[in-house]
Structure 1
Amino acid sequence: MKKWIGAGVLAAAAGAGLAWQQGWLGSTSETSMAHFVPADTVMYIGGKASAEQVAQLRDMPLMGQSQLQIQQLLAEMDNLGRDETPQARFATVLLREFLGNATTYGSTVAHFGLDPLKPQAIYMDGLMPVLRFGIQDEQQFWRVFDQASTESGLKPRTLTLEGTSVKLWRLTQPGDQSLELAVTVHEGIATLTAFHFLDQENDQLQRLALKAPDRSLADSGELAQLKTDYGFDDSLQAFIHLERLTQGILDPDSIGLGQDLKALLQARGKPLPTERLDAACRADISALVAQVPRFVAGNTGVSTDNALAMQSRSVLELTHAELVSDLRSLRGHIPSHSGSTDQILGLGMGLNVDNLIPTVTSMVQRFRDYPTECAELQQAQRQLAGANPAMLGMFTGMIQGTRGAGFSLFDLAIDPNTLQPTNLDFLLSIATENPNALLGMLAMSPMGRQIQIPTDGSLADIDLSHLIPGLSLKAGMQGKHLVAFSGEQAGKAAAELEQEALDANGHTRLSADYNRLADLISNLPTQVAVELESGTSTGCVAQAQIANMLRTQGAQVRYDLDFSEQGMDTRMAFSLDPSQVPQVDPVGSWTLMDQSYDCQGGEPIGVEEIRADGTGQYRYNDGQCDLYRTNYTWTQSGNLFTLTATENVSRDDCTQDWTTEAPVNSQCILIPLDEGFRCIYSDEDSESLFHYRPAG
Structure 2
Amino acid sequence: MKKLAIAAAVIAVGAGAYVLTSKEDNAVSANEMLQYIPADTLLFSGQLTPFPLEDYLYSMPMGLNSKASLEQLEQAGPFSTEQERFFVSLYKSYLTSFENPDLFLKTFGFPSQIESYTYTLGALPVFKIQVENEAAIWALLDKASEESGLVHKAESIKGLEYRAYPLIAEDETIDMVFAQQDGWLTITLNTSFNQASLLETALGLTKVDNPISDTNVIENITSTHGFLQDSISFVNHVELVKGLTSSDGNMLAKQLTKLVEMDGTQSDPFAEFKTPECKAEFGAIAANWPKTVMGLTSFSVDRKQTNFDAKVVIESNNQVILGALTKMRGFIPGFAQNLNDNVASVGIGLNVMQLAPALTEIWQDLQTPSYQCEALAQMQYGLSEQNPAMLGMMTGMANGVQGVSASIIDFTLTDENGEPGFKQLDSLIALSANDPDMLLNMVKPFVPQLANVELTKNGDAVDVTPYLMLPPELGVTAKMAVKDQHIVIYSGEKGEALANQLNDEQVVANGLTAMSLDCQKLLTPVLKLIEDSGEPIPEEISALKDYDMRMQFTFDVTDKGLAISTKANSKAK
TM-score (structure 1 length as normaliser): 0.72
Is the Cα contact below 8 Å between 1:74 and 1:96 reproduced in 2?
A: no
Residues in 2 aligned to 1:280 and 1:178: alpha-carbon distance in whole angstroms = 36
Aligned equivalent of 1:123: 119
**135 and 431 in structure 1: CA distance in 2 versus 1, 3 angstrom threshold:** same
2:294 aligned to which of 297, 303, 311: 297
The alignment status of 1:180 with 2:185, answered yes or no, reads no
Post-superposition CA distance 1:176-198 (Å, at most 9, x none)? 22222111111000001011123
CA distance, structure 1, for counterparts of residue 476 and residue 163 of structure 2? 68
Superposed CA offset, 1:444-481 (max 9, x none): 45563455141432132224145232543222211111
CA distance in 2, matches of 1:362, 1:134: 49
- Counting only pairs closer than 5 Å after superposition, residues 355-374 of structure 1 correspond to structure 2 as 355-374=354-373
Deviation string 1:129-184 (CA, Å, 9 cap, x unpaired) is 111111111111101112333344433233333332122223222x5222221111
CA distance in 2, matches of 1:38, 1:338: 43
2:158 & 2:152 partners in 1: Cα distance? Answer: 19
1:244 aligns with 2:224: no
SS in 2 for 1:262: helix
Structure 1 residue 67 displacement after superposition? 1.8
Which whole-Å CA distance do the structure 2 matches of 1:295 and 1:316 have between them?
4
- Structure 1 residue 88: Cα displacement: 4.1
1:429 deviates by 0.8
SS at the partner of 2:336?
helix
Q: Which residue of 2 aligns with 1:344?
A: 343
Counterpart of 1:385? 384
Over residues 526-575 of structure 1, what are the superposed CA-to-partner deviations in whole Å (9 max), with x where a residue is unaligned? 8999xxxxxxxxx9644x634643x4442222222110110111222211
1:263 and 2:266 correspond:
no
User: Aligned partners of 1:523, 1:130: CA distance in 2, in Å?
Assistant: 48
Structure 1: which 4+ aligned runs deviate by more than 6 Å? 526-529
Deviation at 1:388, TM superposition (A): 2.8
Matched, 1:114 2:115: no
Counterpart position of 1:431: 432
Query: The residue matched to 1:414 in structure 2 has which SS?
Result: strand
Aligned to 1:482: 487
Cα distance in 1 for partners of 2:188, 2:452 equals 65
Amino acid at match of 2:422: P
> 314, 317, 320: which is aligned to 1:316?
314
* Contact 1:426-1:486 within 8 A present in 2 as well: yes
Alpha-carbon distance between aligned partners in 2 of 1:147 and 1:191, rounded to the nearest angstrom: 19
Amino acid at match of 2:408: L
Distance change >3 Å, CA 271–CA 552, structure 1 → 2: farther
TM-superposed CA distance for 1:317, in Å, is: 0.7
Match of 1:515 among 479, 502, 520: 520
Report the identity percentage. Answer: 25
What displacement does 1:63 show?
Answer: 7.1
**Are the equivalent residues in 1 in contact too, given 2:461–2:481 (CA < 8 A)?**
yes
Q: Does 1:227 find its partner at 2:225? A: no
**Match of 1:311, as an amino acid?**
D
Conserved 8 A contact 1:519-1:547: no
SS in 1 for 2:295: strand
1:114: how far off?
1.8
Match of 2:131 in 1: 135
Alignment match, 1:601: none
Q: Tell me whether 177-186 or 271-280 shows the greater mean CA deviation.
A: 271-280
In the alignment, structure 1 residue 554 sits paired with structure 2 residue 548: yes
2:566 is matched with which residue?
Answer: 572
Q: Tell me how far 1:404 sits from its aligned partner.
A: 0.9
Q: Deviations over 1:363-401 (max 9, x none)?
A: 112223423222333333332232231221232111110
Task: Name the residue aligned to 1:165.
Answer: 161
1:51: Cα distance to partner? 6.4
Cα distance, 1:163–1:316 mapped onto 2, change above 3 Å? same
Is the Cα contact below 8 Å between 2:427 and 2:492 reproduced in 1?
yes
Amino acid at match of 1:570: I
> Structure 2 CA distance, aligned partners of 1:313 and 1:324?
18
Q: For residues 18 and 452 of structure 2, what CA distance do their matches in structure 1 show? A: 50
- Which region of structure 1 is more displaced relative to structure 2, 62-71 or 275-284? 62-71
Residue 414 of structure 1 is matched in structure 2 by 413
**Whole-Å separation in 1 of the counterparts to 2:229 and 2:106:** 24
Query: Which amino acid in structure 1 is aligned with residue 383 of structure 2?
Result: L
The answer (yes or no) to whether the contact 1:399–1:437 under 8 Å persists in 2 is: no
User: Aligned partners of 1:424 and 1:510: how far apart in 2?
Assistant: 19
- Contact 2:308 2:568 (8 Å CA) reproduced: yes
For the Cα contact (< 8 Å) 2:404–2:431, is it kept in 1?
yes
Deviation at 1:62, TM superposition (A): 6.3
Match of 1:472 in 2: 477
Encode CA deviations 1:100-121: one digit per residue, 9 max, x unaligned.
Answer: 4433454333212122513111
Deviations 1:54-92 (A, max 9, x none): 324237466742624513524764x534xx3x4444334
Between the two proteins, the alignment pairs up a number of residues equal to: 544
Kept after mapping to 1: 8 A contact 2:61/2:570 = no
Quick one: distance in 2 between partners of 1:154 and 1:415? 54
CA distance in 1, matches of 2:211, 2:68: 46
Unmatched segments (≥5 aa) in structure 2: 1-14, 22-26
Q: Which amino acid aligns with 2:276?
A: A
SS of equivalent residue, structure 1 residue 276: helix
Q: Which has the higher contact order (CA 8 A, sep 6+)?
A: 2
Aligned counterparts of 1:208 and 1:421: Cα–Cα separation in 2: 60
Question: Cα RMSD (Å) of the superposition?
Answer: 2.9
Q: Secondary structure at the match of 1:211?
A: coil
Using the size of structure 2 for normalisation, the TM-score is 0.87
Q: Distance in 2 between matches of 1:240 and 1:524?
A: 46
Instruction: Give the helix-richer structure, 1 or 2.
Output: 2
Q: Quickly say closer, same or farther: Cα 1:66–1:144, change in 2 above 3 A.
A: closer
Helix, strand or coil for the counterpart of 2:110?
A: coil
Q: Secondary structure of the equivalent of 1:373?
A: coil
- Alpha carbons 1:420, 1:468 under 8 Å: kept: no
Q: Using a 3 Å threshold, how does the CA distance of structure 1 residues 450 and 274 change in structure 2: closer, same or farther?
A: same
Amino acid paired to 1:468: P
CA distance in 2, matches of 1:150, 1:412: 51
- Structure 2 residue 40 is the aligned partner of structure 1 residue 40: yes
Is residue 2:449 matched to residue 1:452? Answer: no
Distance 2:504 2:61 in 1: 44
Is the CA contact 2:428–2:495 (under 8 Å) kept in the aligned structure 1? yes
Quick one: distance in 2 between partners of 1:437 and 1:271? 65
* Deviates further, 215-224 or 42-51: 42-51
C-alpha change, 1:205 and 1:184, in structure 2 (3 Å) is: same
Residue 307 (structure 1) aligns with: 305
Segments of 5+ residues of structure 1 without an aligned counterpart are 1-15, 530-538, 582-696
Partners of 2:289 and 2:317 within 8 A in 1: yes
Q: 1:222 to 1:56 in 2, by over 3 A?
A: same
Query: Do the aligned partners of residues 204 and 63 (structure 1) sit closer, same or farther apart at CA in structure 2, a change above 3 Å counting?
Result: farther
Equivalent residue for 1:503?
508
Q: Residue 116 and residue 370 in structure 1: after superposition, are their counterparts in 2 closer, same or farther (change >3 A)?
A: farther
Q: Aligned residue for 1:667?
A: none
Is 2:18–2:51's contact at 8 Å kept on the other side of the alignment? no
**CA offsets, 1:564-610, max 9 Å, x none?**
110111222211221xx2xxxxxxxxxxxxxxxxxxxxxxxxxxxxx
